[in-house]
Structure 1
């Protein structure tokens, strides 16, 4: 009996060991599957007009370190174009997908051997690799292999120089991304460089391009430089030096370099480096960045083809390159004043939100998949308002650019409040909203005129008069909803009345939103195909678009717009003419791309328009258009984006639409149902549940939706609510090739 017992125990132990081994193998496989960074291609959008970059960055971090291949033009807003064959150096900060130029701070360029006048280098394209948090390349002219990774505040470089040659690094403090070649000599306003030792350099640079700002830096090497040479200034107006540092490396020895940044002080830059990258283990930094990127990418798990996964996860990657937390690890941010630097209560201060773009889909997507960052985003906007006197319009590194129109911080904050987010003071938030859209505190606020006429007259507002009227409507509507929930009835009525001002510029004769002067007369002659831009060289009454595109910018009241146009049939005729006209635009604009008729997917004002067909009881039109846009305008290759990614908005449109729904009215708490482009998606929720989307029978031919089920029940609504989605459940689309 004893023997039998022992045998049973041994068998049990063997079974446990076997099960553990199988579990470990299964776990290892699961871990392999969770490495979603393999599906991210940072080169998507680096050609054509995407304006993305392939450098190393950390989710929501201050650093975007990577190669620069060009400068001095709109094409180089991100400092890199995929087709280029030469790398000029590596800068530490970058904008993702914008249409304006700035950053590109503190250029470094390694090279082996003797100094040359031009230290730019051709590179081996086959050696160029990029992944979330990592970039590497072989500089063939400079005989050095470069690897780059990043923490939130630190760029980490590893250099492998050719054997037998002197190892050198150019450090260019005068550099920055600028609009024109002459600006490279004048954009630096002040600079100080301190060689603390033969391993450490520190200082600051104040510069002005899009905004005026200051950054503090510390540069540290893991080996001493044995010589330094200050280069002759290229122009007497330059305020910052350029140095060549030389190192005595043994054959096979590599050089590591860290560049840490701060918006407050050198001491803070050092503290950031000490906290985030204290040692010299490059691989550890790379692994940490990759791990954090995996955490963000795993906020949605999908099934689909390799291209589906690449498009989807690259879109998620673009979504989290920004906004950028520019606070130091101690929570301080901004330039020091007599009272000291500004202090964030949460330790985070986000800037670079690109509100004109991202309020449409990117911010609503954050509320679904990253609710933990929403209170910090709202508090950052409120802190900014306390400092500047209004909510941010388009802030960069905590400074206002006054780029674009209206103030779309308003719908973001209102959206967060209406969805029940806590962690910020609702009364403080509403006060900032009301002040920002009723008090003329900055150059683009003319609220007295807006209230007097009920629109912006084109003879008094020389550019963008119609677009400004249209875009202010969504802000007013958002303020009205927040006022209503707070019990501020008078304010609610005031802002809701304003939200209808779009009706004052709708011309029933042309079926378009048309410029009107201060006497109530329509602009004559009027060409609804004429493209307009705030740029003084173009001008006009619309923002990066024309009348046909902006006619539909009534995100807050699509049913009201349809009624104002004369009902569903008439509105449908107008919408059909937008998508199916064969007439070309009058003039061209680099921002107006991705045309289907006059619909321009390459620019944000069009992003919600295809979904309007759902309100015309024509869902098949939505489904056809979504398939066409996803197929034609989102491709897994460098020129795969049809327009500027605009800090993740272009990508957010794809993420939502691929899952089968979209926030047409971004403050309504409703998602309009479209047609999924991937077989399934799962979003793990904070409450421990999950939202699941399934597209049954999805194929190239089966692009239409036959029926929809929600939690196993037939679902015939046009929208799915945020509340229902966040409670968890399963949304099933049954796909067919037959148009309903």
Structure 2
């Protein structure tokens, strides 16, 4: 076991040179509504937030979420020289040498002012501790009207409501992805008297002067997306004291509980630290938007309304409501990790997705601002929901769940919409998929959104149809099962036998001319044809047959891995480099979601040794080490890459997203001597499941044999029920002969 608590091993600065608005987190709780941290860049969803190489802090903002931002504050000293300029000239240098960062806590020294700022939070309340040692008037600048990450904060207003309290609101302007404005309400409380409040007429922002004699100031900032009253309720319910250190300790304890659900032994200190950093990322990014009393913002209709989540017998919300990036790629990441280790989290998100459906008519694939964004493509929530059902996590009203998921797969459903296609349902090309068996490229109807790449859309729809077919089968809908199973074979319609690759096809059925399988996009979503060809997780045997047999398929994929190995398995070190000619032609890319399942394809084709060999190589090159300059190559989509790294390191993976009856887990190559998973006994009968390796060293990375609870493991898979009943999997490791 680690010598330190898991929370103390987390390295929050991982990959922060490539950070974007929702990536970095410090003073935050798991999935917190508030995720308070310093911002060194504030303009744009990409290249913003906490950027390690930028040495200037431009404020401490409370919301870093998918397409949402808000409530930026900055402690300052006011003198005669800066009293008027401070509203536009307030940034301060800082140094990483005096900075302290850990889950739930952040401390920096603002060199311009000599102020030490410490941050922590509850789920919905930011808690600040400022030390003002210098001369001058201490004050706090509230930048309520400013560009902040993905959008501008506008119409910011604040008023003094008591000797030590303030209230206000601001609006986040719509973005290309979030089509409606989104309002944030806040309640502020200080532990010292407020001397005065001054609003700047030019910027509209506010300067709050504290008592001149006070050198240490505590400030609480509670938020709500529904009302000022609920912001106050959130503060009263979650932070009814002024003990800053207690809040830090409580946050550490909450993180430690979740991170400690997986205990590891062995490996280097760096490997252990990176593991818990990966796990930490799997438990953040997607943000709570409901209040402590269950009120939540519903923007799905023509007019904004305040919704109310169902309450339990104690008057508490049965689940939380969330702001979330897409579940695109979650079938190989969150489905497995959350479903096994955090089933309560998986259920919460499933119920939240269903609440959106109750309000707006469709199960979303990535909601923001209480509304649909149509981020990415397809019906990516279907595998997530089906996996939760097949694992016994979501058990209520399954027939209704099936019907609303089915709606998404038909004309009028979310599958018909391309990325960010808010007003039409033509860009996803679903009518062609249903009539011709594939989505053409280009789609002749026109450009209506993003990612209108027909070959990839065909592959995604076919896989998602297969997962829905499994639920139809479970519920006894034989006709639907046959229908969606037949649709799941549509992937064959974009496989070109003459080249051996998936290939875009136009509306007349003609293959794309001068086809280059290594050209990025142009028919494929955030991928090239070589990477996307393997996106058939539900029928790899059928894909191999198209390629001329299992042996040829294995040889083909192995060659791709050998080439990708020389390039480090990623398209450069940031998401932005995928289009760069130097990086885009890589045949397997573990820097983005479309081909992250490929190492485990060998397992399904009867060569588990190649799965173990290549998954270990990927783990070492892509997900090993601790540095601000790399880590996830700039594309850690709210837990997806963190979860993938965890699964590779514990040696468990689910090719089809855990969507079949009694889902199976493929065995990889664990990097630790022991991995103990605490099973949630509210969902599973077992107490713990432990994976132990013997004869493990840097050369012995192949699994020579496995014993599960005293019985020999046949093949390279074990079932969900075998794991959740608890016990021990013993893996004897060796090297290739």
> Are 2:118 and 2:130, in contact at CA under 8 Å, matched by a contact in 1?
yes
Choose the corresponding residue for 1:524, options 513, 518, 535: 513
Which of 270, 281, 289 does residue 243 from structure 2 map onto? 281
Aligned 8 A contact 2:453 2:524 in 1: yes
What SS does the corresponding residue of 1:93 show, helix, strand or coil?
strand
Aligned residue in 2 for 1:166: 137
Shift of 1:675: 0.7
Q: Where in structure 2 are the equivalents of 1:124-139 lying within 5 Å?
A: 124-139=95-110
Question: Aligned residue for 2:361?
Answer: 389
Pick the aligned partner of 1:321 from 278, 284, 303: 284
Residue of structure 1 aligned with 2:443, choices 451, 460, 476:
460
Are 1:648 and 2:634 matched, yes or no? no
Q: 2:736 aligns with which of 726, 730, 739?
A: 739
Structure 2 distance, partners of 1:651, 1:722, is 22
Seen in structure 2, the aligned counterparts of structure 1 residues 601 and 50 have a Cα distance that, compared at 3 Å, is farther
Superposed counterparts of 1:651-670, under 5 Å:
651-666=642-657, 667-668=659-660, 669-670=663-664
Shift of 1:249: 4.1
Distance apart, 1:244 and its partner CA: 1.5
Corresponding residue for residue 10 of structure 1: none
Q: Report the CA distance between 1:245 and its aligned residue.
A: 1.4
SS of the aligned residue for 1:76 comes to: coil
For 1:339 and 1:314, the matched residues in 2 are separated by 38
Corresponding residue number in structure 2 for 1:418: 390
Point out the more displaced range, 434-443 or 405-414.
434-443
Contact 1:264 1:335 in 2 (8 A): no
Give the count of matched residue pairs.
683
Shift of 1:449: 2.4
Partners of 1:317 and 1:400 lie apart in 2 by: 27
Match of 1:194 in 2: 159
2:313: which partner in 1?
none
Change (3 A) 1:424 1:323: farther
Match of 1:448 in 2: 431
Unpaired runs of at least 5, structure 2 = 311-317, 419-424
For residues 597-641 of structure 1, what are the alpha-carbon distances to aligned partners after superposition, in whole Å with 9 as ceiling and x for unaligned?
521100011110011111233222222222221111122222241
Segments of 5+ residues of structure 1 without an aligned counterpart are 1-29, 96-100, 235-240, 533-539
8 Å Cα contact 1:692/1:729 also seen in 2: yes
Say which one has the larger Rg.
1
Contact 1:34 1:298 in 2 (8 A): no
**Could you tell me which residue of structure 1 aligns to residue 558 of structure 2?**
576
User: CA separation in 2, counterparts of 1:310 and 1:300?
Assistant: 13
Partners of 1:713 and 1:282 in 2: CA distance: 52
Shift of 1:389: 1.9
Q: What SS is found at the alignment partner of 2:219? A: strand
Are residues 393 and 147 of structure 1, via their aligned partners in 2, closer, same or farther at CA, if it must alter by over 3 Å? Answer: same
Q: Which residue of 1 aligns with 2:349?
A: 377
Cα offsets for 1:301-357 (capped at 9, x unmatched): 111321121111111111111432221111110159999621111142133153113
Matches within 5 A, 1:575-594: 575-581=557-563, 590=576, 592=578
Structure 2: how far apart are the matches of 1:158 and 1:367?
38
- 1:192-251 Cα offsets, whole Å, 9 max, x none, are 4333234222222222234232221112211122132222435xxxxxx21111222436
Report what 1:341 is aligned to: 306
Other-structure match for 1:435 = 407
Change beyond 3 A, Cα 1:441–1:194: farther
- Residues 1:419 and 1:649: Cα distance change in structure 2 (over 3 Å): same
Q: Is 1:112–2:98 an aligned residue pair?
A: no
Distance 2:184 2:411 in 1: 32
RMSD after superposition: 2.5
Tell me the equivalent position of 1:684. Answer: 678
Deviation, 1:137, is: 0.8
SS of 2:74 mapped into structure 1: strand
Change (3 A) 1:178 1:295: closer
The match for 1:203 among 162, 168, 171 is 168
Q: Which residue of 2 aligns with 1:565?
A: 547
| Residue of structure 1 in register with 2:529 after alignment | 547
SS in 2 for 1:53: coil
Deviation (angstroms), 1:285 = 1.2
- Secondary structure in structure 2 of the residue aligned to 1:702: coil
Alignment correspondent of 1:730: 728
**Offset at 1:421?**
2.3
Task: Go from structure 1 to structure 2 and tell me whether the alpha carbon gap of 1:250 and 1:586 turns closer, same or farther (over 3 Å shift).
Answer: closer
The alignment partner of 1:107 has SS state of: strand
**Aligned residue in 1 for 2:37:** 66
Give how far 1:154 is off: 0.6
User: 1:641-699: CA deviations, max 9, x gaps?
Assistant: 13211111111111111111211210231111111111111012223521000121222
Q: Is the 8 A contact 1:329 1:347 kept in 2?
A: no
Please say if residues 145 and 154 of structure 2, whose CA atoms lie closer than 8 Å, have aligned partners that are also in contact. no
- How much has 1:404 moved relative to structure 2? 0.6
Q: Is the 8 A contact 1:709 1:731 kept in 2?
A: yes
- C-alpha contact (below 8 Å) 2:31/2:288 kept by paired residues: yes
How has the CA–CA distance of structure 1 residues 449 and 388 changed in structure 2, closer, same or farther, with 3 Å as cutoff? farther
> 1:494 corresponds to which residue?
483
Query: Residues 463-520 of structure 1: CA distance to partner in whole angstroms, max 9, x if unpaired?
Result: 3111111111221011100001100111111111111110000001111110111221
Match of 2:615 in 1: 626
Matched, 1:483 2:472: yes
Using the size of structure 1 for normalisation, the TM-score is: 0.88
Residue of structure 2 in register with 1:3 after alignment? none
Q: Contact 1:624–1:703 (CA<8 Å) still a contact in 2? A: yes
Which has the larger displacement, 647-656 or 583-592?
A: 583-592
Tell me if 1:268 matches 2:230.
yes
Cα distance in 2 between the residues matched to 1:271 and 1:147: 24
- In the alignment, structure 1 residue 40 sits paired with structure 2 residue 10: yes
Residue 162 of structure 1: how far off its partner (Å) = 1.7
Q: Distance in 2 between matches of 1:202 and 1:258?
A: 12
Cα 1:133–1:200 shift into 2, 3 Å:
same
Distance 1:706 1:596 in 2: 35
Instruction: Write the distance in 2 (CA, Å) between the matches of 1:705 and 1:364.
Output: 21
Match of 1:354 in 2: 326
- Taking the TM superposition and a 5 Å limit, the aligned residue runs for 1:294-313 are 294-304=256-266, 305-313=268-276
Query: Structure 1: how far apart are the matches of 2:260 and 2:251?
Result: 14
What TM-score do the two structures reach when normalised by structure 2? 0.88
1:190 Cα offset (Å): 4.0
Deviation at 1:704, TM superposition (A): 2.2
**Aligned match of 1:331:** 294
Q: Kindly indicate whether residue 585 of structure 2 is the aligned counterpart of residue 615 of structure 1.
A: no
Task: Map residues 176-195 of structure 1 onto 2, 5 A cutoff.
Answer: 176-178=147-149, 187-188=152-153, 190-195=155-160
